[in-house]
Chains A and B, each alone.
Chain A
């Protein structure tokens, strides 16, 4: 009873507060592997704070969409985050068919981000937007195939029971395949290596970063915050498939969740340190592979 009240609050709190930590962890890991000291763990928080205090420089070519985009993106991501259960605890919002809403919220965010990119009238932003929408076509298929596996596993159409289903069953091949596929999607959706390199400012390589070249000040802050949150939410989703364990004690489970999240960030960091970015023309193949993994998982479920 008490937890029914407190869990959603914790959920909300983590969702709002924790995301910037993940990029920090990732950067720290990469620095550690590279043998550097690296930026402080909380650097992303500082950056966002700094940006929010700054003034804005806005291109005269742009319209209201340019400024609405970061806000809407953040809002959509936040709402999506409220649909995903953290750890073994039900999500604050859950109802039949919310998985579709979850997927389409990111679509909404994408619509605004890419429109804002085109709004600047710069060729770089346009290029990034084109890549974003192109890759999304492939990754969405992968996501839904992965979710189909969970639907069939759980027999329900809401993210909370779906994602908590692996707890009941011991991890099987289909779930692991889906997890692998979704992990790839996670990397590409958050523009991490091997799909995209968030650190370079060489526009030729970039998808997400290049779309926000002309945002500045608070808007840029919102964008960074939003992308961190996206990473957080998707990681939380994938965790359910990768490590379907829980202790049973709420407090312990929350701690476990935190540990898992940080570990996840560490894993991403390791991937980034040990892998090179793919050539742009190979990315579709990678995403197709992700869809195939999930699809194969579904086929295994059926047979």
Chain B
């Protein structure tokens, strides 16, 4: 059954690389949403016996990661009237290469790590690592605030992937709490985005350097 998990994870990895390379905001958001939806399906693939709780969690996840958050981001995008990300700190191509390198490294690194669990000999750990790394790359190299939010989203996705290994241990209550917090977090962030846009009439974080020594 590995393929059934690895195929979506491979898609996730490809999406990571894609997101590191694109400059159009819209496609960035779409791919983030797509990633979210794919991930929300993972529990269904992993669990032996499907019960209502899993389905609920999956649906809620899909709704939040695939619909609500992208909607908010779209709205912010519309308000700010920005189409593309500006040239990143180190350029698009280098970031993508860096992402690819990161993926490779995380795959090898994960191979070295001891597996404490049977059946976890899948792509899950490397995928989660590289997704987290992708999120970090977006956060550190991009200048537009929205992109950074998306980066944060990707980071969370990476963590979510790792969470797949712990379905047995982590109660759904916690899962839902985490989801809720993520949602509220993004919500607050988007409000702040809105205010940034009003105050600075742009979402370019390079303008947010008034506070300094």
Within the complex, are A and B direct neighbours (CB within 8 Å)? no
